[in-house]
Structure 1
């Protein structure tokens, strides 16, 4: 349930990475009542983590919620503390360390979007790294070294090149991803050099259909570079680290 969400981490501030914040903020705060039970809304400030631009950008989004927020406090009697946000801005370093969970932010390169960061999660002897959006950077291999799971963005270059050839009038828009993203083969190289145990691809460009044949075509050539398992990530996937 969304009421369990109290912490949100941003890697950068492209709309596809922060556009859903209003929904997360409100639905985690409001109490939801069904015939079977009551899901109490968040009664503490939302903790927001991100690079140095986060408070300025997300703060403006929060200001735009103010009309809705005031109504929920005065009319629906929602908890006032839940209407607030506490920010942790950090490009490099530990941003969360409690209850055995340690989260480290580190810089990546998604220019012209700057700053952009990735996150390393450590818990119970296991490590997960989430790249955010980036070209290949040495920082990724450094922090992903020996990780149990690396969730890395990737685009398929031959597929993108084919689209450019098919739609030359859109060449500029279609070729831009190559300037600030990582190819599938580059992601495989990063995972192999870092000794990652499992590689999950996200942020697919162009997105393959959700079937085994399309996904296998999307990761073509990666197994020649990276010896571990490769998964084409999909929303709501779950991974158990043993």
Structure 2
């Protein structure tokens, strides 16, 4: 009986192997059906939802791409920075539902995919108006540059697919500049229950640089952007549910600086030295979060990469002793759900 079972198993295996192309194509069809189904956001409970589509920096990190944070407030979809946007689709969402992009500043790792996300949003949902891009004064130059760079491609899309698929009126980006004025937060977007405020942060010589707070039906999220430890972040983050704060371990970056010197990489040694003076160490962010009464601290824009066991603890230092709430060291795909009318924070990873 055992021999018969073994023979049957071998026969089935051989049949499957012989027909692997046909089977793979059928499975592929089902995968495509699933991917092309309406965005998973329709299954989300009413509330605030935050997805890290990019939790890294310009430094290579296999677990973390360039900065990108997706925020869903009820039916509204917003993107904060557009360094690497490819994970949006992989996380189960569609660029076609984006209402606007908000830029914290204009470093390349925060704007690199701006043209691509505009293109994907336009043609995937037949939009008839450009993608709004909010940012401090200077955003007009960024938007104009990407519109010019993508002008030929936009023409090709409409010429190939037609106005019904790629309406000329919906191509590209439209700038929504605002004046970053002082440390106090100020409202730049309001629609129904959704309010988005901006505030200045310290990232000199990058000027202006801002952070954002999003409020929806009693739930709140604050995104620091790139900054040193700044009073404006602390005051704007007062009692916020989720603080998404950048984190650069000065201790680990100092090791990287010394390593670069040891192998004669003078340029990289200088870069590692320079970046220590305009970012926030995790312990500093923990102090800020504790004083502000933050409920959950999430680190993003992680510097440096953390490839080895024990490095997360080294990255945090004494952060978990300073801040008495939960801490998450973000990576691509991390997803946080804050249901309206609740104090719950549900954490998942969608990659």
Answer whether TM exceeds 0.5 for this pair: yes
Contact 2:118 2:173 in 1 (8 A): no
Following TM superposition, the consecutive aligned residue runs of length 4 or more in structure 1 with deviations greater than 4 angstroms are none
Deviation for aligned residue 1:193: 1.0
Partner of 1:58: 143
- The whole-number CA distance in structure 2 between the counterparts of 1:192 and 1:174 is 28
- The whole-number CA distance in structure 1 between the counterparts of 2:309 and 2:272 is 25
1:207 to 305, 330, 343: 305
Q: Secondary structure at the match of 1:238?
A: strand
* Worse-matched range after superposition: 109-118 or 156-165: 156-165
Partner of 1:217: 314
Contact 2:203 2:278 in 1 (8 A): yes
Partner of 1:233: 330
Q: Please tell me whether residue 69 in structure 1 is matched to residue 166 in structure 2.
A: no
Deviation for aligned residue 1:123: 0.3
CA-based RMSD of the aligned residues comes to 1.6
- The whole-number CA distance in structure 1 between the counterparts of 2:106 and 2:325 is 31
Q: Deviations over 1:90-141 (max 9, x none)?
A: 2242111003110001111111111110000000101100001011111111
Contact 1:189 1:225 in 2 (8 A): yes
- The whole-number CA distance in structure 1 between the counterparts of 2:332 and 2:309 is 16
Taking a change above 3 Å as real, the CA distance of residues 212 and 144 of structure 1, as seen in their structure-2 partners, is farther
Contact 2:143 2:175 in 1 (8 A): no
Partner of 1:115: 208
1:49 to 113, 118, 134: 134
2:280 to 182, 189, 213: 182
Contact 2:119 2:172 in 1 (8 A): no
Deviation for aligned residue 1:84: 4.4
Contact 1:6 1:45 in 2 (8 A): no
Higher relative contact order (CA 8 A, sep 6+): 2
Deviation for aligned residue 1:233: 0.8
Q: Secondary structure at the match of 1:6?
A: strand
Partner of 2:123: 30
- The whole-number CA distance in structure 2 between the counterparts of 1:114 and 1:153 is 17
- The whole-number CA distance in structure 1 between the counterparts of 2:276 and 2:310 is 24
Deviation for aligned residue 1:174: 0.7
* Worse-matched range after superposition: 220-229 or 40-49: 40-49
Q: Deviations over 1:167-224 (max 9, x none)?
A: 2233311111112111111111110111100000011111213x87432332121012
- Normalised by the length of structure 2, the TM-score is 0.64
- The whole-number CA distance in structure 2 between the counterparts of 1:198 and 1:212 is 24
Q: Secondary structure at the match of 1:44?
A: coil
Q: Secondary structure at the match of 1:135?
A: coil
Structure 1 residues not aligned, in runs of 5+: 32-39
Alignment length, in residue pairs? Answer: 233
- The whole-number CA distance in structure 1 between the counterparts of 2:333 and 2:251 is 28
Partner of 1:79: 167
Contact 1:29 1:41 in 2 (8 A): yes
Deviation for aligned residue 1:81: 2.2
